[in-house]
Structure 1
Amino acid sequence: MAEIEVNWSRTDLIDEAEEVVQHQTKQQKTKLDKTSGVVIEEFTEGRVKVTKVNVDKQGSEEIGKKEGVYVTLSVPTLTIEDENGFEQLEKSFVKYLDEIHKDVDIKKDSKVLVIGLGNKTITPDAVGPFAIDAMQSQHSDNPNDHFIMYAPGVTGQTGFETSDFIHALVEKINPALVLVIDALATRGSSRLCKTIQITNTGIHPGSGVGNQRTEVSKEVFGVPVTAIGIPTVVDATVIIADAVEKVFRSIAARVQEKEKPSSKLSVTSWTPDSNARVDLNVVKPIFGEWSTWSSEDRLQLFEEVLSSHPERLIVTPKEVDVWITKYSLLVSDTLFKWMKNRSK
């Protein structure tokens, strides 16, 4: 059996693709910033950080992402109990679903095929099937004739390519649009379960954990395909790098604070501000030169050192079951609201 090479440091989020380039030369990074093939807009709407990326053919070759439009919505401070954060995320989600589909003609009798990708028995991979369950439940109470919903399972369960199931449905139904919901991989722990990506470029099922499955896209099916993804897993190497970064910053902050008169007035244990600016040079005598490296360079070091380790781990939050439930309901509510607006 031929050995399959898995890129453990990969990401499914478009705005992290630029971070991958930063591991290469500064000249390449500058080239990416200046290229006309990749147009990046970053701004905030309330608590939601929005990144809009337009990639043409030239840009696709530069960053290794498909040509098309990508919108990434993230609430960095989001927690499970944060209803306000989820409400703001949903509001932006509806807005950019409208924007990315402005050229898709959905008539009164048009069908929209919604596919929930993933393995329902593996929680971090179950956001697609759970979203379909939530939509079917909502459809029972508030029917919408546009939607046709289906969760095909995974190749390991059915023995068939997911794209074959979808292709058969597309030929039978002839939908105006295919919406594909799936779990993604991220290269930043701060994005884990706090981000939604929308793209009209389609998706490779299972790509988040290194599986090579047939593409689900307009090029394959002949109808517009929009992928909706939520990052639920991250490489353990990223967690290690983030932990080391926090240790360095914490010690450096404590050393700097020790020199201030205010520290002598403290009557409780002092906790450094994670967002405060600190000079990592103060820990250089303790940990050496690498403590002053950039986060990207330090992450690359861990990836190189651990690349040959026989047990590379993919990590997910311990509350992932609650996150998946939250996002399945959010996706369901958003799609029904969006379609109701389109039908007016």
Structure 2
Amino acid sequence: MQEINWTRTDLIDETEEVVQHQTRQQKEQLDDSEGVRFEEFNEKRVKVTKVIVNSEGAEEIGKKEGQYITLTVPTLNIDDHDGNEQLAESFLKYIDEIHKDIELTKDSKVLVIGLGNKTITPDAIGPFTIDAMQARQLENHVEQFVLYAPGVTGQTGFETSDFVHALTEKIQPDLVLAIDALATRGTSRLCKTIQITNTGIHPGSGVGNQRAEISKEVLGVPVTAIGVPTVVDATVIIADAVDKVFRSIAKKIQEKDKPSGKLAVTAWTSDTSEEDVDFNVIRPIFGEWSTWSKAERRQLFEEVLLSNSQRLIVTPKEVDIWMTKYSTLISNCLFRWIEEKVN
């Protein structure tokens, strides 16, 4: 099959997955590499992925040198107050950790940039967060934050990076925080994840809309990007759905003659997404392609749909509620963090 360059993701650990799902040799090379340090663990319901990439690792996985921290609550839903609280506490912890070497005082300035288009809800997490922070800033009289939502190039006609660069030169901040919506390569990540990285950001890169980067190299001051994945490519949804069906059928076949299967009194279903399943048992039904890895099946769908002029980017139907929740979460945590940092 034609080799596909999977660029429709902004999440570092999904880039890691791409390499792991290619050849065994590439996986072993990555595991043995000194260029990428990968650590994954759980803190209650929050799955924490920490990746540190040096210059060698940047060439291997195609991501910038720096530190990436990804926080995910896989079972999070809109009404999940407990999951939301745990995600907020983890975000507060790691936003502090990633800035441990940056000293801030009561006289420091932190420029917060809300990237995105406020009129397009899946892209509005940045402007929404700026709105939430402006309301809180008026109440709390916190002077460290300078808040700015520059809009997008399609609205202004100018590169967002140019606006940010000019404002940075004007106010001379000690730190820039860039908040933006991200693209993901997994439906389980949609609106359930926050990524923090000190490498800066390329606005729109996850959906193939490359703009000038906002980074320390461009602005001359440290830049931390905070992102929430709100969109996914339609081919990913197809691949995830097919994988779930294959896993469910294979699991049913494997369990058919076991006591647990004989005792079932209703239609049996389970979440097999994280289990090892023998796909060979469904090969006589669906053929060779059912034994392919999820990445290989996804590549097949990508190749088939590449011949279609329409490329679909999908977002959850409750995305407006998610944007409100995340803008409030990020705003509240940033104010808590700056108060603890400077006092």
Q: Quickly name the TM-score band, shorter chain normalised.
A: over 0.9
**Counterpart in 1 of 2:335?**
336
- Deviation of the 1:7 alpha carbon: 6.2
CA distance in 2, matches of 1:279, 1:61: 34
CA distance in 2, matches of 1:177, 1:122: 28
Amino acid at match of 1:107: T
The question of whether the paired residues in 2 share the 8 Å contact of 1:7 and 1:210 is answered with no
**Counterpart in 1 of 2:102?**
104
Residue 310 (str. 1) matches residue 275 (str. 2): no
Amino acid at match of 2:332: D
**Counterpart in 2 of 1:320?**
319
**Counterpart in 1 of 2:173?**
175
Distance 1:153 1:8, change over 3 A: farther
**Counterpart in 1 of 2:9?**
11
Distance 1:184 1:106, change over 3 A: same
- Equivalent of 1:217 in 212, 215, 218: 215
**Counterpart in 2 of 1:294?**
293
Amino acid at match of 1:296: A
Provide the alpha-carbon RMSD of the alignment.
1.7
- Equivalent of 2:111 in 113, 122, 136: 113
TM-score (norm 2): 0.94
CA distance in 2, matches of 1:267, 1:29: 43
- Deviation sequence 1:190-220 (CA, Å, 0-9, x none): 1111111101100011212211211100000
The question of whether the paired residues in 2 share the 8 Å contact of 1:8 and 1:210 is answered with no
Q: Aligned to 1:71, what secondary structure does the other structure show?
A: strand
CA distance in 1, matches of 2:69, 2:328: 20
Q: Aligned to 2:85, what secondary structure does the other structure show?
A: helix
The question of whether the paired residues in 2 share the 8 Å contact of 1:204 and 1:213 is answered with yes
Quick check: 148-157 or 204-213, which moved more?
A: 204-213
**Counterpart in 1 of 2:163?**
165
Amino acid at match of 1:250: S
**Counterpart in 2 of 1:201?**
199
Distance 1:36 1:278, change over 3 A: closer
The question of whether the paired residues in 2 share the 8 Å contact of 1:183 and 1:208 is answered with no
- Deviation of the 1:23 alpha carbon: 4.6
Q: Aligned to 1:181, what secondary structure does the other structure show?
A: strand
Q: Aligned to 1:269, what secondary structure does the other structure show?
A: coil
- Deviation sequence 1:16-57 (CA, Å, 0-9, x none): 111222353221221111110111111111111111111111
CA distance in 2, matches of 1:87, 1:298: 36
The question of whether the paired residues in 2 share the 8 Å contact of 1:254 and 1:272 is answered with no
Amino acid at match of 1:31: Q
Q: Aligned to 1:256, what secondary structure does the other structure show?
A: helix
CA distance in 2, matches of 1:24, 1:7: 12
Structure 1 residues not aligned, in runs of 5+: 1-5
**Counterpart in 1 of 2:232?**
234
- Deviation of the 1:232 alpha carbon: 0.5
**Counterpart in 2 of 1:279?**
278
**Counterpart in 1 of 2:146?**
148
Quick check: 101-110 or 253-262, which moved more?
A: 253-262
TM-score (norm 1): 0.94
- Deviation of the 1:284 alpha carbon: 1.1
CA distance in 2, matches of 1:272, 1:65: 35
The question of whether the paired residues in 1 share the 8 Å contact of 2:49 and 2:69 is answered with yes
CA distance in 2, matches of 1:23, 1:257: 27
- Equivalent of 2:242 in 224, 241, 244: 244
The question of whether the paired residues in 2 share the 8 Å contact of 1:130 and 1:324 is answered with yes
**Counterpart in 2 of 1:49?**
47
The question of whether the paired residues in 2 share the 8 Å contact of 1:48 and 1:89 is answered with yes
CA distance in 1, matches of 2:33, 2:266: 52
Structure 2 residues not aligned, in runs of 5+: none
CA distance in 2, matches of 1:54, 1:308: 37
CA distance in 2, matches of 1:144, 1:94: 18
Instruction: State the percentage of identical aligned residues.
Output: 72
Q: Number of matched residues?
A: 339
The question of whether the paired residues in 2 share the 8 Å contact of 1:186 and 1:233 is answered with yes
